[in-house]
Structure 1
Amino acid sequence: MSWLHTWAGVLLGGLLLAIFWTGSLSVFDREIDRWMQPGTRLAPPPSAFSLDQLVVPHARQLAQDAPVWSISLPTPRVPTLQLDYQRPQQGAVRRHIDPRTGELLADQGSWGGTRFIFPFHFSLHLGWRSIGYWLVGAAGMGMLVLLTSGVVAHRKLIAEFFTFRPRKRLQRRLLDLHNLTGVLVLPFHVVITLSGLIIFYSIYFPGITQALYPQGRSQLQLEALGNYSRPASGLTAEIASLDSMLTRAKSVWESSGTPGQAYFVRVWHPGDRNAYVEIRRAHANEVTMNADRLTFDGTTGELLHQHSAAPVAGVQRFLTGLHFIQFDHWTLRWLYFIGGMSGCVLIGTGLLFWSGSRRARHERQGRIGARVVDAVSVTAGAGLIIATLVFFVTNRLLPAGCEWFGHSRAELEIWAFYLSWLLALAHAACYPAQAWRQQLQCAAVLAVTAVALNALTTAFVLPLSLFSGSAAVAGMDMMLLVLAGLCLLASRRIRRAQICAPLPPHPSRIEPPHA
């Protein structure tokens, strides 16, 4: 099993690092949104508001010809009403509305965490033939192989759990840290990887849905997910009161024994006689991301369809909720974040141990394997941190509404992310000996710069935001400063290890790879 563990890690390590890093950040994707979209840093939303008065007028003005209006209701983490729709030239558009005044907030010009970092985690933003989903699925299967083979290869799991020798040479420290993070968070890694694969079962195993639902995807959508549908009639009609539908939905759920509030409203064919309105039940107080939804006639308000997940689908929705952690539990949210970051440490130390144990031998033999893995490790580790921080810094530097060569402000932020990531790869390939140390130092500077720019471009200076109730902004600033400190500490340790490194050992005395 040792060879399987080694080569699966070498081949998939860089991709897994990117997935774990963006997945860890996605735990706080809405807090990242508040930091990157200053206009949405509002006070907590009121308990009662009217969609008919606050949202529908804006929707009619902005998205008159859009086939669908999607309305996300405010929460403590997202204090705005969100209106999403599609425009022919603009594509997907999201606008924010103040739930207290009904004011349409200025376009924030950023995809932030929910529309860039979170989708990157499971799709890599590669849409052609769903190739991004397949790559992430392959990495997930590889992670399960790594976890299983790692347990078999490391027979002394209990001893390795208590073994960490920080004063030993670098290779020994890397292996100890790799074993420690692998054993300590093993249950989390298994659950998070397995649930991630189960979420997208219909992509990876389409034959299952074809066998269970012979009438096609429409039958799957209606029976498994409750997605009622009917075509537009082409005849105009006024939309019924969304507020009345929300009130009716709450009473229906209470009478069925599943009390709860709505969190999402979607209007199909707005302004058409065949319009219908889908209302989904919130899942903030439960692990399961339930599929409970009601569908109303858009012109009469009559209840057309009621759906709750069947037992098998309910298991899948439970695992989905376990993976996405959309329920309100801040202790678990931080534990998920720590578990995700431990996955980054686990994968990164494994790659570094592999390349470090072979670097001298490969150089003598004229082989480039260790150097390639080194470059991939730096790029997927420090390079990805730099790209993320450049994403944040660009967000604070670009003026609102700016465009460049036909690219919107949000697109420019994404271009900055990918270009800086590409530069990190070029730097790692050209300067392998200094790559880790220099890129970590660069990341530290960028993290501090992001905090300073946030203070300069907004009124949210860290000490003030901390005590003024802006926990999301203050938390983001503090985590950036912690990241800067960790990067400087790691850079210093690497420099010290390089100065104190002994002469490379003879190939026959190199420890056999275990990571």
Structure 2
Amino acid sequence: MKQTITQSLAWLHTWGGLIVGWLLFAIFLTGSLAVFDQEIDNWMHPELPAHHLTDEQAVERGMSYLRQHSPDAKQWGVSLPYDRSPELRASTGGRRDGVSVTLDPNTGEVLPVRESAGGRFFFLFHFTLFMPGMLGIYVVGALAMGMLAALISGIVIHKKFFKEFFTFRPAKGQRSWLDAHNASAVLLLPFHLMITYSGLAIFLVIYMPAAMDALFDGSRDAFFKAQDPAPAVVEAKRPAQAEPAPLVAIGPLLAKARDVMGPLSGVSITNPGMSNAEIQIRPILGNRIALIKGGGMRFDGVTGEQLSGPTEMRASVLTHRVISGMHFAQFGGYPMRWVYFICGLISSAMIATGLVLFTVKRRRKYANEGRVAQVLYRVIEAVNVTVMAGLSLACIAYLWGNHLLPVGMAERPDAELTVFFGVWALTLVHALLRPRMHAWREQLGLAGVMCLSLPLVSLLTVDHSWALHSRMGVELTTMALGGVLLWACWKVSQPQVERVPRKKATVLAEVN
């Protein structure tokens, strides 16, 4: 019975790993890039200048622009620059119908910034696969469940995987691929389990809505409202009729909010210049491990009296947001981001070695099968090349497209996405038409060369007087990844010697 269970799990791990592995590789690779989505976004908006404005100075710049250009607006907003983003934005209206502009922090004038899909594209692709509506979220959730099944079944069928973790035999063909797969899986097993489970927990209400439907009649607004306790400060009485009144000085309010909540992300002012004005100051996302978005502290816009916030979360809500925060890695600053980035790349390598193992182990078998089986195997190998080498090529082509496309062209973000998906589609055609090893070498080599050449593209297309440290970091990291891709290209170019065990070699000699 034990042998039967092990064999069944081995079948599940092998075929389930293949079916979900292709998409999981894309999810993990784009998720790794999304760890630095804001830095990539800065690189894709090279017009943003470096500056050292304080929160008070940034708010004053934004409000000066709003007083001059939108004095009658019912809603003002100023998004503050912080350590990951130098962008200063001023906006009017709500989130859906509002209009926002990027300001030059030195002059306060509107700064022309190119339109771009930015680094957020990798973030969106990571959990939606860029599918329409909610389809992508459901597909990614199913893949996460498949990932958990592959992890658990992998633990069961590799009973000596802790021992195998300390065993790596280089230059031994299939054996080396298996050693690399096992070592990367064991080394990051806690990370794999955490990142997969937390990814599922983020969309808990979407995947398991039965409780919400039963208790709140399917009302998501009522569900989320019930999670928050009463505000920390009792709501003060507001004037019944609004009259013109000067706006309170915001500097002291910023200092108070910063002392309570830490670094700040923005300021919103409702009914500016009226007696019923309100000021909301929001904390930066990622100030602590619990994922907190929105909220903040509210003040009377005339007297400066604190009206509400911040609220303390219930234990159940805090637990869910801590789990979600562990997935998003908004805490811990750059050291934690680098840990997640490297772990994500190693996880991608684990999936890649598993996919390669699948094709290597079945290459001889399908060579002796019928025509249909051979065609199926050829397609599987072509998809392998497309998913791993082709996606890497599409990602770097996306960055190239941002700098090479005309700055003022219409629908520019869509054109960048066309570059990404167009190049990715062409890699599939290339993999189907070219011999297997040629396709691997050519796509890996081209992706590596393009990564190493990214600073040159930037030098020829961008005025580096606007350069930021984050731009340099993106280019240096891309060059390092280009070196890895060229190393992989060199490795697959080496002749592969199939090593046959001694006993099997003796049998083959006697048969011959």
Match of 1:280 in 2: 282
Match of 1:426 in 2: 429
Per the alignment, do residues 223 and 50 of structure 1 end up closer, same or farther by CA in structure 2, a change over 3 Å counting?
A: farther
Per-residue Cα deviation, 1:26-54 (whole angstroms, up to 9, x for no partner): 11111111211111141333353253542
CA distance in 2, matches of 1:192, 1:60: 47
* 1:300 to partner: Cα distance: 8.4
- Of 193, 202, 205, the match for 1:190: 193
Q: How does 1:100-499 map to 2 (within 5 A)?
A: 100-113=106-119, 115-128=120-133, 130-169=134-173, 171-214=174-217, 216-224=219-227, 241=247, 244=250, 247-248=252-253, 251=256, 258-266=260-268, 278-290=280-292, 292-295=295-298, 305-306=308-309, 307-365=311-369, 366=371, 367=373, 368-403=375-410, 408-433=411-436, 434-460=438-464, 470-497=468-495
- State the AA in 2 paired with 1:201: L
Match of 2:4 in 1: none
- State the AA in 2 paired with 1:481: M
CA distance in 2, matches of 1:239, 1:356: 75
Match of 1:512 in 2: none
CA distance in 1, matches of 2:443, 2:186: 29
Per-residue Cα deviation, 1:104-137 (whole angstroms, up to 9, x for no partner): 2213211211x31111111223232x11111111
* 1:61 to partner: Cα distance: 4.8
Kindly indicate whether the alpha-carbon contact (under 8 Å) linking 2:44 and 2:399 is maintained by their aligned counterparts in 1: yes
Per the alignment, do residues 323 and 239 of structure 1 end up closer, same or farther by CA in structure 2, a change over 3 Å counting?
A: farther
Match of 1:231 in 2: none
Per the alignment, do residues 274 and 10 of structure 1 end up closer, same or farther by CA in structure 2, a change over 3 Å counting?
A: farther
Per-residue Cα deviation, 1:285-339 (whole angstroms, up to 9, x for no partner): 4222235523457798776553332111111111222111122422221111110
Kindly indicate whether the alpha-carbon contact (under 8 Å) linking 1:290 and 1:318 is maintained by their aligned counterparts in 2: no
- Look at both structures and tell me which one has the larger radius of gyration over its CA atoms: 2
Q: 97-106 vs 321-330, which deviates more?
A: 97-106
CA distance in 2, matches of 1:14, 1:360: 22
Per the alignment, do residues 99 and 459 of structure 1 end up closer, same or farther by CA in structure 2, a change over 3 Å counting?
A: closer
1:17 paired to 2:21: no
Per-residue Cα deviation, 1:109-167 (whole angstroms, up to 9, x for no partner): 11211x31111111223232x11111111111111111111111111122111111112
Per-residue Cα deviation, 1:210-248 (whole angstroms, up to 9, x for no partner): 3443482222343336999xxxxxx9988984863x744
Kindly indicate whether the alpha-carbon contact (under 8 Å) linking 1:164 and 1:176 is maintained by their aligned counterparts in 2: yes
Match of 2:46 in 1: 38
SS of corresponding position for 2:297: strand
Q: 440-449 vs 208-217, which deviates more?
A: 208-217
CA distance in 1, matches of 2:366, 2:91: 53
CA distance in 2, matches of 1:144, 1:109: 39
CA distance in 1, matches of 2:384, 2:185: 18
Unaligned runs of 5+ in 2: 1-8, 232-240, 507-512
Kindly indicate whether the alpha-carbon contact (under 8 Å) linking 2:66 and 2:76 is maintained by their aligned counterparts in 1: no
CA distance in 2, matches of 1:374, 1:227: 58
- State the AA in 1 paired with 2:290: T
Aligned length: 479
CA distance in 1, matches of 2:21, 2:271: 45
SS of corresponding position for 1:96: strand
Per the alignment, do residues 279 and 12 of structure 1 end up closer, same or farther by CA in structure 2, a change over 3 Å counting?
A: same
Per-residue Cα deviation, 1:448-498 (whole angstroms, up to 9, x for no partner): 33221111122449xx97xxxx43122211122212221111111111135
Kindly indicate whether the alpha-carbon contact (under 8 Å) linking 2:169 and 2:176 is maintained by their aligned counterparts in 1: yes
Q: 101-110 vs 78-87, which deviates more?
A: 78-87
Per the alignment, do residues 69 and 496 of structure 1 end up closer, same or farther by CA in structure 2, a change over 3 Å counting?
A: farther
SS of corresponding position for 2:281: strand
- State the AA in 2 paired with 1:322: M
- State the AA in 1 paired with 2:132: G
SS of corresponding position for 1:38: coil
CA distance in 1, matches of 2:282, 2:186: 39
Per the alignment, do residues 364 and 202 of structure 1 end up closer, same or farther by CA in structure 2, a change over 3 Å counting?
A: same
- State the AA in 2 paired with 1:193: T
Kindly indicate whether the alpha-carbon contact (under 8 Å) linking 2:291 and 2:325 is maintained by their aligned counterparts in 1: yes
Kindly indicate whether the alpha-carbon contact (under 8 Å) linking 1:451 and 1:477 is maintained by their aligned counterparts in 2: yes
* 1:193 to partner: Cα distance: 1.1
Match of 1:513 in 2: none
Match of 1:8 in 2: 16
Kindly indicate whether the alpha-carbon contact (under 8 Å) linking 2:59 and 2:80 is maintained by their aligned counterparts in 1: no
Q: CA RMSD in A?
A: 3.6
CA distance in 2, matches of 1:384, 1:131: 21
Unaligned runs of 5+ in 1: 229-234, 510-515
CA distance in 2, matches of 1:68, 1:360: 68
